[in-house]
Chain A
């Protein structure tokens, strides 16, 4: 059974810092990995999707990497801003049909002005 772990569970940084969020998964047989953002009391917003054949994806100040063989992904946020404060979730999809995702517990990020 696939298990996804995110470390740290919570992170507080001053504005402007570069930071890394970690995600690990136990079964390397994945189809893709997604990073989501969730604001308090809101739904999830997809940030980046990395296919199993890819090593990284970039969107603006965000960069996500994937090392499938070691079961790890990182989300790098450059020059953090208070508006980046949210919970960040990673999720992996198995190669079978249906697009069922297994989510990590999330990292709650607070960027202080």
Chain B
């Protein structure tokens, strides 16, 4: 069966510090991968998606970046965090053509920037 992992689960970082959040998927090959952010009082916003290794598309301009060094690994990064980067970050995967076309979400990372 497929599983998706995110770490760390929680993170408190000062403004201006770097960020690296990791997401890995097991039990599937060539998944589509997604990073979402859920800020307090706001809906779920798609940040990045990837259809393959090294292929990243950004949905919104920001000081975050994403990378996909391996088929089942998706990393969200920042060189300098802003207060507005605080939120709940969710990684998700899907496989097009699987019949269900459902996105499956990880447990999330709670980021607080102080």
> Does chain B have a CB within 8 A of A75?
no
**B44 CB contacts on chain A under 8 angstroms:** 44, 89, 91, 103
> Does chain B have a CB within 8 A of A32?
yes
**B105 CB contacts on chain A under 8 angstroms:** 36, 43-45
Nearest chain A CB to B77 CB, angstrom units? 20
Q: How many of chain A's residues have a CB under 8 angstroms from any CB in B?
A: 25
Nearest A-chain residue to B95, judged by Cβ: A99
The interface of chain A, by Cβ under 8 A from chain B, is 4, 31-32, 34, 36, 41-46, 49, 89, 91, 93, 97-106
Give Cα distance in the complex from A27 to B41, angstroms. 24
A103–B43 CB distance below 8 A: yes
Nearest chain B CB to A50 CB, angstrom units? 11
Tell me the residues in window 71-114 of chain B with beta carbons closer than 8 Å to chain A beta carbons: 88, 90, 92, 94, 96, 100-108, 110
A98–B59 CB distance below 8 A: no
Q: Mark B16-43, 1 if CB is under 8 A from A, else 0.
A: 0000000000000000101000000011
A46–B46 CB distance below 8 A: no
Central interface residue in B34, B44, B108, by most chain A CB within 10 Å: B44
**A44 CB contacts on chain B under 8 angstroms:** 44, 90, 92, 103, 105
Nearest chain B CB to A34 CB, angstrom units? 7
Give 18 A-B pairs besides A32-B101, A102-B46, A103-B45 with Cβ atoms closer than 8 angstroms.
A4-B43, A31-B101, A36-B105, A41-B110, A43-B105, A43-B106, A44-B44, A44-B90, A46-B102, A49-B100, A49-B102, A98-B51, A98-B57, A99-B32, A99-B96, A101-B46, A103-B44, A105-B43
Q: Which of A31, A46, A100, A106 contacts B43 (CB 8 A)?
A: A106
Nearest chain B CB to A81 CB, angstrom units? 23
Give Cα distance in the complex from A20 to B92, angstroms. 27
Nearest chain B CB to A96 CB, angstrom units? 12
A99–B103 CB distance below 8 A: yes
Nearest B-chain residue to A47, judged by Cβ: B102
Give Cα distance in the complex from A105 to B104, angstroms. 18
Known: A41-B108, A43-B106, A44-B90. A100 touches B101 (CB 8 A): no
